[in-house]
A and B are shown apart, each in its own frame.
Chain A
């Protein structure tokens, strides 16, 4: 039954992704610039340009190009080769996704561990000085440009204090040969090198905070709002009348009910993180999807760009599904249908 629903959900995701590929395909075609020219550079001869256009199928009508693309994707699970590196896009995604997932998970952990407590503290005394301070911090977090925050953190903790590495995923003395692509996991369990693990963790801190600040602020605000809402409800009054202590009501009865909207926001924010990763990854020279998608846009590397965006979108859909399932675990009254 449960599995059935999950499968059904996955099937619903198919038309969503299909629509996405169509929109994406059209948008990519609308980007100005001739990919052949960008591939070959300013000095390309007209003949070699023509040759490349033919090789990439850029001469065919858009509908035909799309048909070929979709056929290869669905039937062969092939997204073509990246124009700039000539490697299969599928394997490039495999190379880069783990770095982004690692960063996003750390960012969301930061957002949860900081954002939720801030929201709880603020809601415990609405209107107080504590409330005001925490919520101002949250607004500040939402409104701060990511690249600015990243550079400031880098400047303070990397340059001035020298506590943390400035950029990159691993120190210059280490060389990482990916097994799973998850550096923390690989360094700890495959390489079994605790120093390398520590170094990798240190490199994660600043980008994770940079990426996690906006979700952290959102979470703080939604936690506060849901808590305040739940606290107004009848069963809380009942609990109070029965003599349950404030903190028990607050942390057990209320928080459990408030955690549903929090989970929703968490899921959505996790998706948004993947987009936010473009800026964060570029600033911190992080070798993940965001960095790659941005450089693919700059290089008009169309197969890489399409593959990258589809992969991120698929991940977004998947995360939403996971969130739906989580709802059910939190509150069995919600039905997955």
Chain B
């Protein structure tokens, strides 16, 4: 009896000891976590992503998998402050803009060197831009097709670039263009080592040499890209010793690798993956979140009846249940859009009330517009998934259901993506789903591109075919204005005009979620989708 009593108590004691040890360990860990606020140098971070890079010459590519790597190898003249779209100095420590807005003078830092040891100077800056602009340039043929350079119109905007001295460089523009500075922060306009470009020529994209925080080491195709710390980085050496980009195309495989903690960061998870990780790994994972720098919208063709009537457009805006769509199609990872630009961008007009979901009001508006029984129309559904429109078909079906409630009968139409773009650019649609991801942190890149009357010329970017002189005047004034406060004012005004005219219905701004292991510190997503690791470090 005594014996039998004794044994369990020993077990209990052991249990207690183990329990205390566990508690104690937990305690130390917590203590350590507080203590570890000061970064630790060293370690290898493995970034698990869905595809390999195509080419590591930033001028040659537009895909995220390539630019996310080049972003860590190269620097630009200016860059964006982490987590924002604010422009801050990088290779240029300061700059002047002439009163007419046509001349930009950049003063370069003198302590920056390329990874091959050559100097970052005015010649390198001129080389980096002219190789993209001038077909007669000696390096023009080595790369290309310079998609972003052309898409943002820099080929026409930049008249010439001259050097005043080794560390001062002047850009002459053909017209005043305030967003120019934001443009320069894009990965594609990084400053490259001229020596390396001339050495590797067409193979520069496999042997990239920049001046950024990490030095390119190795590239095993479709497996991994290895970067190493640039210990002489002008901003101070990064904490990580090695940064590896692993390509794991299958989503489920990437999830299993994350669960086995073989990768530190899991890019592009499915919404389902996020819940699985929360459930299975719980406390071991953080979720970096970032409101997407994009907008998914419903374009209404203002050239066609009945969408030339503002009351009809208002009715449609009131009839759509955006929250319902976000819940059903975006799995909750989006926020309701009330303006055609995301709230993370400066100049977003928070005062715009937006059109709330109100079928009754919508019906009244339709009646006032002369359509008491509704009408029949078509709605085009995007055939490809994009972050701002994960499933065009499902969004279209949801809208179809919403509009049926106010008597508008909708037929859903879809084409292969290339054809879809061609036809909508020609204005063949009644209503069409579309979206836009910002290239640069400037409202001009959303409002002017999507809604200015200049862009209704076919093939049109403004597929709402909204032609407002009033909006045009404001947007052009904002382009020419270099005073930031005045620009904000102008863009807020522009959004009020758009709100009143409802040329389109902004639906959602998607939210990006990137799971990381808890050890990963200081990992921050950027609105423009950048993945930068110069400040990231690994806790023990």
Decide if A33 touches B416 in the complex (CB within 8 Å): yes
Give 1 or 0 for each of B221-235: 1 = CB within 8 Å of chain A CB.
111101000000000
Q: Closest approach, in angstroms, between the C-beta of A203 and any C-beta of chain B?
A: 11
Decide if B221 touches A37 in the complex (CB within 8 Å): no
Q: Closest approach, in angstroms, between the C-beta of A287 and any C-beta of chain B?
A: 4
Decide if A176 touches B148 in the complex (CB within 8 Å): no
Q: Which of B145, B218, B253, B439: most chain A Cβ within 10 A? A: B253
Is B398 an interface residue when CB atoms closer than 8 A count as contact? no
Give 1 or 0 for each of B381-402: 1 = CB within 8 Å of chain A CB.
0000000000000000000000
Binds B, one of A65-73, A150-158, A244-252, A325-333: A150-158
> B260: which A residues are within 8 A, CB to CB?
158-159, 162, 166
* Complex-state Cα separation, A194 to B63, whole angstroms: 38
Interface contact tally, CB-CB below 8 A:
108
Task: Report the contact-size class of chain A (Cβ under 8 Å from the partner).
Answer: 35 or more
* Complex-state Cα separation, A45 to B153, whole angstroms: 9
Check A44/B220 contact, CB under 8 A, given A166-B257, A285-B247: no
Is B248 an interface residue when CB atoms closer than 8 A count as contact? yes
Which residues of B in the span 208-250 have a Cβ within 8 Å of any Cβ on A? 218, 220-224, 226, 244, 246-250
> A44: which B residues are within 8 A, CB to CB?
147, 151
* Complex-state Cα separation, A52 to B63, whole angstroms: 17
Q: Which of B63, B222, B256, B439: most chain A Cβ within 10 A? A: B222
Q: Closest approach, in angstroms, between the C-beta of A42 and any C-beta of chain B?
A: 7
Decide if B249 touches A291 in the complex (CB within 8 Å): yes
> A291: which B residues are within 8 A, CB to CB?
222, 249
Check A34/B145 contact, CB under 8 A, given A43-B439, A159-B259, A166-B256: no
Q: How many residues of B contact A (CB 8 A)?
A: 42
Decide if B256 touches A287 in the complex (CB within 8 Å): no
Is B72 an interface residue when CB atoms closer than 8 A count as contact? no
Decide if A34 touches B418 in the complex (CB within 8 Å): yes
Which residues of B in the span 135-160 have a Cβ within 8 Å of any Cβ on A? 145, 147-148, 150-151
Decide if B202 touches A159 in the complex (CB within 8 Å): no
Q: Closest approach, in angstroms, between the C-beta of A292 and any C-beta of chain B?
A: 7
Give 1 or 0 for each of A172-188: 1 = CB within 8 Å of chain B CB.
10011000000000000
Q: Which residue of A lies closest to B220 (CB)?
A: A176
* Complex-state Cα separation, A48 to B144, whole angstroms: 11
Q: Which of A45, A46, A52, A168: most chain B Cβ within 10 A? A: A168
> A284: which B residues are within 8 A, CB to CB?
253
* Complex-state Cα separation, A168 to B253, whole angstroms: 10
List 24 interface pairs A-B (beta carbons < 8 Å), by A numbering.
A33-B418, A37-B417, A40-B145, A41-B63, A45-B150, A48-B145, A84-B54, A85-B54, A86-B60, A95-B221, A151-B256, A154-B253, A154-B256, A159-B259, A166-B260, A166-B262, A168-B246, A172-B246, A282-B250, A284-B253, A285-B222, A285-B250, A285-B253, A287-B222
4 closest A-B pairs (Cβ-Cβ)? Answer: A287-B222, A34-B418, A32-B416, A43-B151
**Extra 4 A-B pairs, beta carbons < 8 Å, given A44-B151, A159-B260, A172-B44:** A32-B419, A47-B150, A151-B253, A166-B253
| Residues of chain A at the chain B interface (Cβ within 8 Å) | 32-34, 37-38, 40-48, 51-52, 84-86, 95, 147, 151, 154-155, 158-159, 162, 166-170, 172, 175-176, 282-285, 287, 291-292, 295
